[in-house]
Amino acid sequence: MLKFSNNKYFPKPNLSMKGGIDPWGSAEIGDYGKVFKEFGLENYCKSEYGLDYLVFRRGIAIAHRDFGKVYERMKSGKPFINMTGIASSGPLHFGHKLIVDIFRFFKENGGKNYFGICDIDAFVSRPKIKTLKEAQEYAAKNLADILAMGLSEKDIYLQSKKEARYYTFSYELSKKLTENMIKAVYGTLDPGKISANLLQYADILHGQLPEYEGNMPSVTAIALEQDPHLRVARDLARRLKKFELPSSIYITHQPGLTEKKKMSSSEPDTAIFLDDTPKAAEKKIMRAFTGGRDTIDEQKNKGGKPDVCKVYSMLRFHHPDDKKLLDICERCRKGELMCEECKRFAAEFVSAWLEKHREKREKVKAKARDIVLGE
């Protein structure tokens, strides 16, 4: 395995972080160090858990809570709960793909799997989703993508079709939740978001109920801005006194293709969607914000800046070949690689992935609609 030095491959954008972390916001988090300190996260990049997967090798997993417990289970071949989810509020993009990739990694390494397709969450907490049916239409599409990426029907659940025990458990959790806890973590919340959050806490913890796996360590891999939900879930686990505190791994957001944005479903130009045509994806990559210089001569003389380049980010987050990535990074910095050639390479890689993915998705589309909509 090629060794990656994190300071070389982990860009440090210099945006300031005001007002804490917003789980529903779309701004990039800039000052990670400050966020780690404020919320007591451990820096994954400096940790001893050298998992051999690109997310961990390339500084994309940036922080964790209590991951040691899960790591020990992985090392000794003992099971652990692997839980994450997505709100079905729009089409999936490459940022979501990463969440599925990590989930699949933990699945292949002994996880008991709980991937939540959160249609109720999407309906009650996202104003743009007007009906549960609308969220379920997205859920069916999202599920087809997720199955095409290698998860099975057994690995996933749809919130609105979950067993009654899951719901009674979310009400049990509500008895332990106080107004002060909500205020301290989120500030003011509307009732829809509070009810969605109760399900989020149940998502994180229910796998430890005796009706499921029973008490055992769990890991939830999520983007850093979802940490407020983890903090509350851990607090609830502490109050209930019958669960292992859930562990988490935080990944840095894949930067959007435009400047200073994360990939977001609500801003189509920032993201490549898993159902984009290869041509549309190519167009977005060719227009993306790069770390290139104003002129070819300047780029040859000074070299490019892969650490701020959105095209390089796309490759860093998704291209499987470390050697190729290292080569691009070094040639860019030395002024040996020009953006046009580099963008073409990235566009070809993404287009080929999308085409293969489309073929796989076609095969599972009907099954996904049947699971979600009973059609």
- Residue ranges in contact with ligand SF4 by CB under 6 A: 290-292, 304-306, 309, 311-312, 328, 332, 337, 339, 342-343
Closer residue to ligand SF4, CB minimum distance, 74 or 339: 339
Least Cβ distance, residue 97 to ligand SF4 (angstroms): 20
Closer residue to ligand SF4, CB minimum distance, 147 or 337: 337
Distance CA 310, CA 271 (A): 11
3-state secondary structure of 246: coil
Torsion of CA 350, 59, 204, 372, to 10 degrees: 0
3-state secondary structure of 181: helix
Least Cβ distance, residue 58 to ligand SF4 (angstroms): 14
Closer residue to ligand SF4, CB minimum distance, 240 or 286: 286
Closer residue to ligand SF4, CB minimum distance, 126 or 343: 343
**DSSP assignment of 81-133:** EEEEEEE-SS--BHHHHHHHHHHHHHHHTTEEEEEEEEHHHHHHH-TT---HH
Distance CA 291, CA 308 (A): 5
Q: In a 10 Å sphere around its CB, with 0-12 CB exposed, 13-18 middle and 19+ buried, how is residue 33 labelled?
A: exposed
Least Cβ distance, residue 275 to ligand SF4 (angstroms): 25
Phi, psi of 37 (to 5 degrees): -65, -45
Closer residue to ligand SF4, CB minimum distance, 86 or 339: 339
Q: Length of the chain in residues, anyone?
A: 375
Closer residue to ligand SF4, CB minimum distance, 161 or 333: 333
Closer residue to ligand SF4, CB minimum distance, 211 or 348: 348
According to DSSP H, which parts of 130-260 are helical? 132-148, 164-176, 179-186, 191-205, 227-240
Least Cβ distance, residue 293 to ligand SF4 (angstroms): 8
End-to-end CA distance of the chain: 46
Least Cβ distance, residue 245 to ligand SF4 (angstroms): 40
Q: Which residue bears the tokens 């894949």?
A: 254
Least Cβ distance, residue 321 to ligand SF4 (angstroms): 15
Q: In a 10 Å sphere around its CB, with 0-12 CB exposed, 13-18 middle and 19+ buried, how is residue 43 labelled?
A: middle
Least Cβ distance, residue 59 to ligand SF4 (angstroms): 16
Closer residue to ligand SF4, CB minimum distance, 199 or 325: 325
Q: Residue 265 is which amino acid?
A: S
Q: Residue 304 is which amino acid?
A: G
Distance CA 157, CA 58 (A): 30
Least Cβ distance, residue 20 to ligand SF4 (angstroms): 32
Least Cβ distance, residue 368 to ligand SF4 (angstroms): 35
Least Cβ distance, residue 8 to ligand SF4 (angstroms): 13
Q: What is the DSSP letter of 243?
A: S
Closer residue to ligand SF4, CB minimum distance, 256 or 306: 306
Closer residue to ligand SF4, CB minimum distance, 298 or 370: 298
The helix, strand and coil proportions of the chain, stated in percent and rounded to the nearest 5, come to 55, 10, 35
